[in-house]
């Protein structure tokens, strides 16, 4: 009887981290099987064209709109949540059982959420690895210096455009003396320039800081193609993968030019030793009495709308979970694995984003180019993070899209008011052409009470328990919101802008809350993390510094779920650096296993 197929490595999830690990191990000659729950193929061009068409015809253009969804592997969507005076309501795949909603979607499709990410590729600040020293959250078992070489590897793999001198000077990031990014930084938007003229060299104060912070508009590193830097890689230069950024304003959820990095670019470079199997939902891992993972069980489905499937098993020397922070935790919980620390599923984090929006005095040409090309970095670090959560100010180029929806709603409103023709065009130009938004991404510390659990009474179409989320925001985070709003007020004043920000308990604001007599609302940034947290001891963490499970030596859980803190930067670049670092460790472990087997066979001769 034919037994299960066997591979050197099975990777669960073909998103950002999974695609990078598969490529790194495949290039070293290991046979890798990638099991992806969602639909899709390795025909990146055809899948991309299908997604662009789906996006163009979607009535509501959410981050999931371009991508094929399936009943067997559903994706949470921003439309799953609604707010109101009686609190929020959840209607989708995720069961929400906390005081506040976890407001971030993610994609279960080939390429994962890496298809729809913002493309902002910031490094974490060295201080972010020591969050616990400030009394809120946890320290990492490694520091910035340990990860720095892998940041460089990741920036080369995904293609980052930025100005290294600006990142040194304005953010305080250490780089090797001769390092440059693969591509020169993208140009500022006109809004960036207007804001810089108004605020650079001025100061803003928040109630938790002893000294005011000097303001400076700083370019944001981008994983989208710009002019190659001939000085990169000691003068060898860099060849971008795909077209240069042409300024489309739809790169979240999809870049028509493919100028933005997605995991599909990495998959296109996979060697023949890597095999992709989509529509394959891994539903259980089995372990031996010694803790080694012996079998990976998965369900293979064909129909987008139903749950009919066949069941399969596969074996591997090493198993890598790379299915998203929530899905990784769900699979560990279903399988009863990594239980020693009681931390699986706990410490669920995101970047609660406070948005403020207004009108400039003169037109600033919004709704063009990447969603954000610059930010203000001075509130990310410093002693004030002991008293309130740190935050990064992201300057939004897409008007009021994220907060209130796209401008076609204005057209509908004006038509209902019988405004037509030339008058319609004049009103729209005045109203839309002056819109801008500031996005404050606030650090959320690791809190064991924020967690993923299983809901055995609520099962998906394949019969697997759905994840239930318990989520709240600490007063530390809420004080970060207080500070962010006060900084926003000062920025609006310097810009001489009209502030139209208004937080209300309405359907479109499920993240509405009140704190110390003030109203706020947060939006999910899509940066789920912490659920298989990394640490220096098996008694208080799930994985070690290599993202290897303490309890299961041949099981790795990679991705943002391993991160003990998220800092204030978008975490994808850090996730990529961690994945490449873990791939090197996996390779060493596999080589050691082979050496042991060879030595044992020699001894038997």
Q: Report which DSSP code applies to 224.
A: B
What pLDDT score does 4 carry? 79
Q: Report which DSSP code applies to 281.
A: E
Contacts of 290 (CB under 8 A, 6+ apart): none
In CATH, the number for domain 6-593 is: 3.50.50.60
Please provide the size of the chain in residues.
605
State how far the Cα of 313 lies from the Cα of 288, in Å rounded to an integer.
15
Give the DSSP H or E segment for 235: helix 232-235
Domain boundaries in the chain? Answer: 6-593
What pLDDT score does 117 carry? 95
Rama region for 242: left / alpha / beta (φ>0; ψ in -120 to 50; rest): left
What the block records as the tokens of 561 is 């779920």
Q: How far is CA 31 from the centre of its chain?
A: 28
Report whether the peptide linkage leading into residue 253 is cis, meaning its omega lies within 30 degrees of zero: yes
**Span 526-583, pLDDT tens digits:** 999 999 999 999 999 999 999 999 999 999 999 999 999 999 999 999 999 999 999 9
**Span 150-207, pLDDT tens digits:** 999 999 999 999 999 999 999 999 999 999 999 999 999 999 999 999 999 999 999 9
Residues in the chain with pLDDT values less than 50:
none
State how far the Cα of 392 lies from the Cα of 354, in Å rounded to an integer.
10
What pLDDT score does 252 carry? 87
Nearest CA to 431 out of 500, 521, 368, 503 is that of 500
Instruction: Give a three-class secondary structure readout of 515-564.
Output: ECCEEEEEECCCCCECCCCECCCCCCCCECCCCEECCCCCEEECCHHHCC
What pLDDT score does 596 carry? 54
Could you tell me if 119 and 261 are in contact, meaning their C-beta atoms sit under 8 angstroms apart? Answer: yes
What pLDDT score does 597 carry? 52
pTM for the complete prediction?
Answer: 0.96
Looking up tokens 């699979």 gives: 331
């Amino acid at each position: 009887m034919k037994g299960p197929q066997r591979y050197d490595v099975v990777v669960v999830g073909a998103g950002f981290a999974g695609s990078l690990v598969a490529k790194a191990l495949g290039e070293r000659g290991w046979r890798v099987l990638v099991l992806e729950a969602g639909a899709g193929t390795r025909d990146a061009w055809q899948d991309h064209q299908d997604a662009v068409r789906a996006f163009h015809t979607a009535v509501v253009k959410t981050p999931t709109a371009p991508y094929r969804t399936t009943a067997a592997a559903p994706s949470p969507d921003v439309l799953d949540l609604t707010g109101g005076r009686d609190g929020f309501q959840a209607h989708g795949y995720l069961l929400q059982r906390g005081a506040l909603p976890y407001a971030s979607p993610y994609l279960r499709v080939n390429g994962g959420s890496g298809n729809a990410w913002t493309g902002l590729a910031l490094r974490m600040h060295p201080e972010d690895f020591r969050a616990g020293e400030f009394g809120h959250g946890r320290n990492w078992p490694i520091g910035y210096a340990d990860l720095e070489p892998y940041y460089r590897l990741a920036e080369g793999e995904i293609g980052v455009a930025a100005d290294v001198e600006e990142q040194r000077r304005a953010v305080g990031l250490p780089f090797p003396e001769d390092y440059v990014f693969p591509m020169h930084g993208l140009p500022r938007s006109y809004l960036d320039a207007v804001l810089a003229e108004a605020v650079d060299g001025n100061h803003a104060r928040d109630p938790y800081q002893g000294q005011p912070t000097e303001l400076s508009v700083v370019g944001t590193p981008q994983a989208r193609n710009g002019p190659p830097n001939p000085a990169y890689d000691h003068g060898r230069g860099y060849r971008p993968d795909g077209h240069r950024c042409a300024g489309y304003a739809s790169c979240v959820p999809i870049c028509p030019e493919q100028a933005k990095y997605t995991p599909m670019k990495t998959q296109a470079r996979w060697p023949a030793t890597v095999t992709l199997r989509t529509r394959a939902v891994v539903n259980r891992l089995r372990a031996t009495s010694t803790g080694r993972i012996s079998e990976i069980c998965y369900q293979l489905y064909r129909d987008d709308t139903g749950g009919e499937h066949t069941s399969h098993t596969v074996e591997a020397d090493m198993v890598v979970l790379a299915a998203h922070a929530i899905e990784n935790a769900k699979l560990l919980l279903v399988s009863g694995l990594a239980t020693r620390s009681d931390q699986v599923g706990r410490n669920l984090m995101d970047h609660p984003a406070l948005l403020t929006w207004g009108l400039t005095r003169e037109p600033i040409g919004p709704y063009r180019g990447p969603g954000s090309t610059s930010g203000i970095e001075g509130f990310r670090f410093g002693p004030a993070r002991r008293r309130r959560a740190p935050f990064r100010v992201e300057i939004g180029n897409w008007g009021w899209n994220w907060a209130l929806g796209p401008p076609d709603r204005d057209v509908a409103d004006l038509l209902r008011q019988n405004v037509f023709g030339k008058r319609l065009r004049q009103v729209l130009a005045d109203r839309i052409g002056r819109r801008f938004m500031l996005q404050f991404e606030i650090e959320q510390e690791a809190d064991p009470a924020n967690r993923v659990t299983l809901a055995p009474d609520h099962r998906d179409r394949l019969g697997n328990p759905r994840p239930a989320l318990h989520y709240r925001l600490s007063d530390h985070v809420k004080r970060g919101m207080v500070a962010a709003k006060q900084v926003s007020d000062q920025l609006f004043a310097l810009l001489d802008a009209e502030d139209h920000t208004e937080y209300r308990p309405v359907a479109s604001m499920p993240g509405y809350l009140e704190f110390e007599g003030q109203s706020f609302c947060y939006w999910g940034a899509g940066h789920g993390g912490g659920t298989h947290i990394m640490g220096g001891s098996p008694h208080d963490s799930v994985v070690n510094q290599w993202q290897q499970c303490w309890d299961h030596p041949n099981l790795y859980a990679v991705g943002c779920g391993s991160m003990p803190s998220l800092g204030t930067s978008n975490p994808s670049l850090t996730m990529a650096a961690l994945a490449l670092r873990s791939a090197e460790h996996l390779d060493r472990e596999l080589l050691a296993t082979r050496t042991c087997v060879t030595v044992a066979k020699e001894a038997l001769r």
